Structure 1
């Protein structure tokens, strides 16, 4: 992290809250996937519905949540969201059927859809434009670090004390996050023109249209958002079925899934670290490289699984590392560009649109992955995802080349 960000107390406070909350998220997610996928032996579609329950609220309520983040105090929205999610996670300690899990996760997703645009808007308030790429990369490093630490802690806690304790710890992390967010500054900017006076008079539909129009009128953001949505759909098609793919191996175990997630987190951390240090990058080029890397990773996983290759404890985490590294190259440059390009008073609406598109893809992806894995098998589903990721990387490179040629004239 550069010196300016270290001295920025608001940024440090926000990142500390994000760290604690993200650790709790990974504690519960890994526990749920392990419980449902391996212990309850859920079908591919039932596994996909777990991801659907988390993603659907963002797609359904993302635009409204984005408008809320621009209308009301972002700090208050984050605190309320954390406290309600803490209560909802506690209900999982009593879950004995998959239906209870679905309902709780859907409710958690609703309040996550409020928290995310509020957090992004708050970040825009407290970080200068010149430091935004480093800030976004550091945020990604936190997410990836907790993706390493969370599964590790989750595995130990589930093995020693059971999943109920994991959910209890997750609830406590949300409460701790809310407490830390309380110390953030209330407001650090002035709204432009008559925005503050008029914002309560506009409808949610109008504000969504404003955010969508802003993206549509920015060539990079519009192309990047389409690419991001397609990439996410294909990633989720395969990612949602990883536990099903692992079951195809004779050496399948709950530990292998944990190692895979941990290695993926290490890859994400390394990519975030490099992006934080080298901020003079071409965002769309990195997104294309990331899609290609993901395609190679998923395709190789399927190939090795098809032949039931030995030493899966080695090659599966290595390919997970490549996938995590590549995924960061897709997500971080685009989100950093959105933060830089978007005026502070519109961040909620713009990120509401971005999150809505992204999570719509994460809804379709798991459903498509579950359906394909059921109809044609998990291996063909992975090969399809891999091939299409490589294809869109190639198509994107052609579009990028044409865009540069047009700019040269």
Structure 2
């Protein structure tokens, strides 16, 4: 007879139970299924946007960069506005409207030129940033309170888990478009725009998501616009600034996303130029990062037993440490191994950050706070992709540190910034935030621990 269940087994059982409890909640299950399908379509469309911009500009790399910039600029203003709207209007209506609007916009892309593609990419991203605060603010209302980490993990998995499938599906859709018989309506369109199938597929996934969300049990009265829009726009960031735990969260979250931006900017260059490996090696590295994210989602319940605030800071710092090791020890097999660690730390940091932000805010202000969080997501990603990317290109020309190339200097700088940000986050958290709740299933302790 077993008298004692080891803590790690208890944590694994709790995590499995948390995932089951979250997915058994009918409303949350509808949200996750809709998000998984629409995210698959959105990643397919992301590749289609890049391919279409490259083709329409006759191979101009600047056109591809413009598409990426148009996906990074909107968060500066759209995410905070989306957060305000999420607190003033029915979140279900917001999400359905955004999904149907994006479905219509995406379906138009193949019928225009490069200018229309730019405009639609920009508006599409703005609509996404109205959708996301409403979605994130709704998760605590749909999932069991004691399974919020697992619920956020499932949302993260539904958003990023389909990337490998999307890449393969995009290739299949392009091949299918080139083999459409002439007798089929719009055959000429598909031949002229091989990415058309991909855009139409994405449009259909948004319609599916809208249908799933329309059935969510989110009955919430509209809050009258008693305060000016300008006041509400600033309230999300003011609320974060006044709350010590959320303020530290903002520091850490921004630099954690900077790490993702660094890999986005210099990852392919690091593999091909620094490691002198192939495109296939980059694909494996990306897949191992995704595998690490999946492992992080499975481990999150076990590690948060040590205190959410501490785990968040350590996870962010681990992301920076991995980048530094990859920069200083450019060995392919080592990069493969620690890419798994980066993915795990990255996903734990994001899940814990979302959970803290949701639990530390009341429902009447949660939309604005989640809008601010989405803005920080994209600001960090943009700083990493554009800022560190520019630094890496400049360093490649000047070689200020001799044996280190631009990719290594970019990763080294990004890693150092991330660790400094993690230390700043740790210093900003008040001592009570490190207290771990001792009553299982009970209410969380005060502060973000």
Please state which band the TM-score falls in when normalised by the shorter chain.
0.7 to 0.9
C-alpha deviation, 1:348, in angstroms: 0.9
Q: Hey, what's the Cα distance between the residues in 1 that align with 2:277 and 2:321?
A: 23
Instruction: Choose 390-399 or 167-176, whichever is displaced more.
Output: 390-399
Q: Hey, what's the Cα distance between the residues in 1 that align with 2:329 and 2:361?
A: 43
Which structure's CA Rg is the greater one?
A: 2
1:137 corresponds to 2:153: yes
CA-atom RMSD, angstroms? Answer: 3.3
Instruction: Choose 137-146 or 55-64, whichever is displaced more.
Output: 137-146
State whether residues 25 and 144 of structure 2, in contact with CA within 8 Å, keep that contact through their aligned partners in structure 1.
Answer: no
State whether residues 272 and 278 of structure 2, in contact with CA within 8 Å, keep that contact through their aligned partners in structure 1.
Answer: yes
State whether residues 150 and 301 of structure 2, in contact with CA within 8 Å, keep that contact through their aligned partners in structure 1.
Answer: yes
1:180 corresponds to 2:212: yes
Cα gap change, 1:34 to 1:370, in 2 (>3 Å): farther
Instruction: Choose 112-121 or 156-165, whichever is displaced more.
Output: 156-165
1:296 corresponds to 2:328: no
Q: Write out aligned runs for 1:222-371 (5 A).
A: 222-248=247-273, 250-253=276-279, 255-276=280-301, 280-303=305-328, 317-371=336-390
Q: Hey, what's the Cα distance between the residues in 1 that align with 2:51 and 2:70?
A: 17
Instruction: Choose 28-37 or 52-61, whichever is displaced more.
Output: 28-37
Q: Hey, what's the Cα distance between the residues in 2 that align with 1:276 and 1:143?
A: 20
Structure 2: segments with no counterpart, 5+ residues? 1-16, 178-193, 397-405, 436-449
Higher relative contact order (CA 8 A, sep 6+): 1
Cα gap change, 1:231 to 1:153, in 2 (>3 Å): same
Residue 166 of structure 1 is matched in structure 2 by 198
Q: TM-score w.r.t. structure 1 length?
A: 0.82
Residue 67 of structure 1 is matched in structure 2 by 84
Q: SS where residue 280 of structure 1 aligns?
A: helix
Residue 244 of structure 2 is matched in structure 1 by 219
Q: Hey, what's the Cα distance between the residues in 2 that align with 1:26 and 1:124?
A: 26
C-alpha deviation, 1:227, in angstroms: 2.1
Q: Hey, what's the Cα distance between the residues in 1 that align with 2:103 and 2:434?
A: 51
Cα gap change, 1:369 to 1:159, in 2 (>3 Å): farther
State whether residues 240 and 246 of structure 2, in contact with CA within 8 Å, keep that contact through their aligned partners in structure 1.
Answer: yes
State whether residues 316 and 422 of structure 2, in contact with CA within 8 Å, keep that contact through their aligned partners in structure 1.
Answer: yes
Q: Hey, what's the Cα distance between the residues in 1 that align with 2:345 and 2:112?
A: 35
State whether residues 51 and 240 of structure 1, in contact with CA within 8 Å, keep that contact through their aligned partners in structure 2.
Answer: no
Cα gap change, 1:117 to 1:337, in 2 (>3 Å): same
Residue 28 of structure 2 is matched in structure 1 by 11
Residue 162 of structure 2 is matched in structure 1 by 146
Q: Write out aligned runs for 1:75-224 (5 A).
A: 75-93=92-110, 97=114, 101-158=117-174, 163-187=195-219, 196=223, 199-224=224-249
Higher normalized helix content (fraction of residues): 1
State whether residues 248 and 426 of structure 2, in contact with CA within 8 Å, keep that contact through their aligned partners in structure 1.
Answer: no
C-alpha deviation, 1:225, in angstroms: 0.9
Q: Hey, what's the Cα distance between the residues in 1 that align with 2:247 and 2:422?
A: 17
C-alpha deviation, 1:171, in angstroms: 2.0
Q: Write out aligned runs for 1:30-49 (5 A).
A: 30-32=47-49, 49=66
Q: Hey, what's the Cα distance between the residues in 2 that align with 1:338 and 1:317?
A: 32
Residue 387 of structure 1 is matched in structure 2 by 416
State whether residues 151 and 258 of structure 1, in contact with CA within 8 Å, keep that contact through their aligned partners in structure 2.
Answer: no
Aligned pairs, number: 390
State whether residues 144 and 266 of structure 1, in contact with CA within 8 Å, keep that contact through their aligned partners in structure 2.
Answer: no
C-alpha deviation, 1:300, in angstroms: 4.2
Instruction: Choose 151-160 or 71-80, whichever is displaced more.
Output: 151-160
